[in-house]
Amino acid sequence: MNKQPDFTKINWNDLKYFLALKRQGRLCLASKKIGCSHVSIANRIAALEECMSTKLFYQNSRGFHLTKAGEKLVPYAEKCERELRLAMEVYRQEQKIRSKIRIGVTEGIGNYFIATRLASWIKDKDIDIELISLPSLTTITAGEVDISITLGPQKGYNIIQQRLTPYKIGIYASRDYAANNPPIIGVEDLLQHYFIGYIEEHVFSEDLRYHEEISPNLQIVYKSTTIHTQRLSIETGLGLGLLPHYVAHGNPNLVHLLPDIQFKREYWISSGTDLHQFKDLKITWDFIMSTAAESKTTFLPS
């Protein structure tokens, strides 16, 4: 492709397909995201490349990747996307249409802290919430959600982010297990007990490898991808486990062991840089920030 680009023939809608393929990396995933066939995605990308007289993607066994020209186009395509969203926000407010806000959050804080509080809060709001609570990361830069809560800050551009809250992780056992086994006084005693933990190859963040900070020789006999399953397994009396304190908070079946051994981590909240131009998005952000601040002792018990 070496002819002069003809920008008058660009179909601006093709930028939507361009961003979808950039974010999803595969035609089948991009087509599912937009709601069309993968052939349509491929055709629209080809048409955009023809108008711009350059290749925007190259393909290998891992999917589609941006060329240098494609990387240069991204901020301009995303600016068009943001401007359209702002226009739709003005229309939504004028027509008094309910907002729909997608929140991506790791499953621990999502299931044990955010879910019920958000549900109670929106009862008198003209806001629809989609809460995506998964044992993985959902990112603002991937265009998956409007607000994202992650372990640690995100990388990328066109995002605004703040520390939501620090939290601590401790060693827990069921009350019956603690009562019917010899006292655990020090780290060396932990090596004599079974542990529940994560599956190493499915750990989405290095911050979740806190078992290794105790000892590489722990006997982890039961593994799961979710903190919910780990908590339930600890309650059966199978062995010991590491839980965020907000997960164990108020649970009469769990006992906190060795309080001197704790691990501190941080949750961060992020959104697009246009956050303050979306009224309902901003008040949702403010609610999450304020409710986390009010619940400090849940995350960081004394």
- Residue 141 is predicted with a pLDDT of 65
Give residue-wise pLDDT tens across range 173-198.
999 999 999 889 988 999 999 999 99
74 or 201: which carries more pLDDT confidence?
74
Residue 160 lies in a domain: yes
Mean per-residue pLDDT over the chain, rounded: 89
The pLDDT of 15-20, averaged and rounded, is 91
pLDDT tens readout for residues 220-258 = 999 998 999 999 999 999 999 999 999 999 899 999 999
142 lies in the same domain as 212: no
The verdict on residue 26 lying in a domain is yes
Q: Give yes or no for residue 290 having a pLDDT over 70.
A: yes
**Residue 142, pLDDT score:** 66
Report d(CA 140, CA 156) in Å as an integer: 9
* pLDDT for position 298: 93
Look up the CATH number of the domain holding residue 55.
Answer: 1.10.10.10
Tally Cβ neighbours within 10 Å of residue 185. 9
CA 87 centroid distance within chain: 27
Of 72, 92, 112, the residue that ends a domain is 92
pLDDT of amino acid 205:
76
Q: Are 242 and 165 in contact (CB under 8 A)?
A: no
Q: How confident is the model at residue 60 (pLDDT cuts 50, 70, 90)?
A: very high
Q: Which amino acid is at 153?
A: P
Res. 276: pLDDT tops 70? yes
293: domain CATH number is 3.40.190.10
On whether the CB atoms of residues 245 and 298 are closer than 8 A, the answer is yes
Task: Specify the number of domains making up the chain.
Answer: 3
Query: How much is the pLDDT for 176?
Result: 96
259 and 170 both lie in a single domain? yes
Q: Tell me, yes or no, whether 54 and 106 share the same domain.
A: no
Distance of alpha carbon 215 from alpha carbon 194, whole angstroms = 13
Q: Is residue 254 part of a domain?
A: yes
Co-location of 220 and 176 in the same domain: yes
Q: Partners of 57 in the beta sheet?
A: 66
Residues 249 and 281 in one domain: no
| Structural tokens at position 34 | 């937009």
Dist. CA 42–CA 36, nearest whole Å: 11
pLDDT at 1 over 60: no
User: Is 2 a residue whose pLDDT tops 60?
Assistant: no
Domain that includes residue 220, residue range: 166-265
Q: Give CA–CA dist 249/264, Å, rounded.
A: 16
Query: For residue 85, what pLDDT is reported?
Result: 82
- Do residue 144 and residue 290 come from a single domain? yes
Same domain, residue pair 176 and 255: yes
Domain harbouring 179, CATH code:
3.40.190.290
Please enumerate in sequence order all residues whose Cβ is within 8 A of that of 223, keeping only pairs 6 or more positions apart, or say none. 196, 197, 198, 199
Amino acid at 208: L
Region 36-51: mean pLDDT is 91
Last residue of some domain: 37, 67, 92? 92
The answer as to whether 1 is a domain residue is: no
Question: Is 196 inside any structural domain?
Answer: yes
Is residue 49 a contact partner of residue 7, using CB atoms and an 8 Å limit?
no
Q: What angle do CA 285, 271, 154 make, to 5 degrees?
A: 120
The mean pLDDT value for 265-290 works out to 92
The pLDDT, as a whole number, for residue 8 is 67
For residue 2, being part of any structural domain is answered with: no
Q: How far apart are CA 172 and CA 178, in angstroms?
A: 9
Residue 7, SS3 per DSSP: helix
Residues 18, 109, single domain; the answer is no
Residue 102 lies in a domain: yes
* 175 plus 233 within the same structural domain: yes
**Pairing state between β 254-257 and 159-174:** antiparallel
Residues 93-137: pLDDT tens digits? 777 778 899 999 998 999 999 999 999 999 989 999 999 987 666
> Considering the domain boundaries, does residue 16 fall inside one?
yes
Instruction: Please tell me whether residues 247 and 175 are part of one structural domain.
Output: yes
Q: Domain boundary at 92, 123, 147, which?
A: 92
Q: pTM of the predicted model, to two decimals?
A: 0.78
Report the alpha-carbon distance of residue 99 to residue 125 in Å, rounded.
9
Looking at the chain, the whole-number percentage of residues with pLDDT higher than 70 is 94
The pLDDT value given to residue 135: 65
CA 212 to chain CA mean position, Å: 23
What is the distance, to the nearest Å, from the Cα of residue 90 to the centroid of all Cα atoms in its chain?
Answer: 28
| 56, 69, 74, 143, 210 from 22: Cα distances, Å | 10, 12, 9, 10, 33
Same domain for 192 and 151, yes or no, is: no
114 and 44 in a single domain? The answer is: no
